[in-house]
A and B are shown apart, each in its own frame.
Chain A
């Protein structure tokens, strides 16, 4: 596989469930990102990892918990979510954490919280 892949592509979960989103990049990049895309709103940066170290956390609620075990994999662990958390969650990677480098996006996970 090439580029940035995400699984699952679609997820429906109840507010009491625990689930995880997975992202994998095959580009040899050092930085990975989680974004949230809601209707009528700009893409919101949630987390940035550089060389497996978290460097940015944009005041994201603790019900979202990221994990970056190595530079190719990124997870987003979800628990006790709210209906307003329903959105498209996009993973991206770039050569380095400097945002002047192009970010390559995965296809996203469409999350619905019921």
Chain B
């Protein structure tokens, strides 16, 4: 059974610092990797996706993928209180309808 593992947290980071969120996955055949953000009481929203090994940057967010280690991470630079949320990691095989989600990491940015 495919699994996606995340530390549930809570992860507390001072405002302005870098928040680092990690995710490991069990299926070596996974091809697509997503980070969703979910505010309390709200639905998930996609913030980043990555398909290739290495880094992908979008504003304050950087996704990092290492397929050899089956590891994907999300870095948030200059953390803001509005970044406080649960971050869900999701993976899929290319061409597969199914996303496998982790349980999420709860991030709290401390002013």
A residues whose Cβ falls under 8 Å from a Cβ of B: 31, 40-43, 45, 48, 50, 55-56, 58, 90, 97-100, 102-108
Contact = CB atoms under 8 A, between A and B. Distances in A.
Chain B interface residue count: which class? 20 to 34
A108 B40 CA distance: 12
A105 B43 contact: yes
Contacts, number: 56
Nearest to B5: A42
A108 B99 contact: no
Q: Interface majority SS on A: helix, strand, loop or mixed?
A: loop
Contact of A98 (B51, B90, B95): B95
B89 to A, nearest CB: 9
A99 B51 CA distance: 12
Interface of B: 4, 8, 31-32, 42-46, 49, 51, 88, 90, 92, 94-104
A58 B98 CA distance: 10
B72 to A, nearest CB: 15
Given A55-B97, A100-B92, A100-B95, 15 more contacts: A40-B8, A42-B102, A42-B104, A48-B97, A56-B97, A90-B43, A97-B97, A98-B96, A98-B97, A100-B51, A103-B46, A103-B99, A105-B43, A105-B45, A106-B43
B99 A102 contact: no
Contacts of A102: 46, 49
Contacts of B42: 107
Contacts of B88: 43
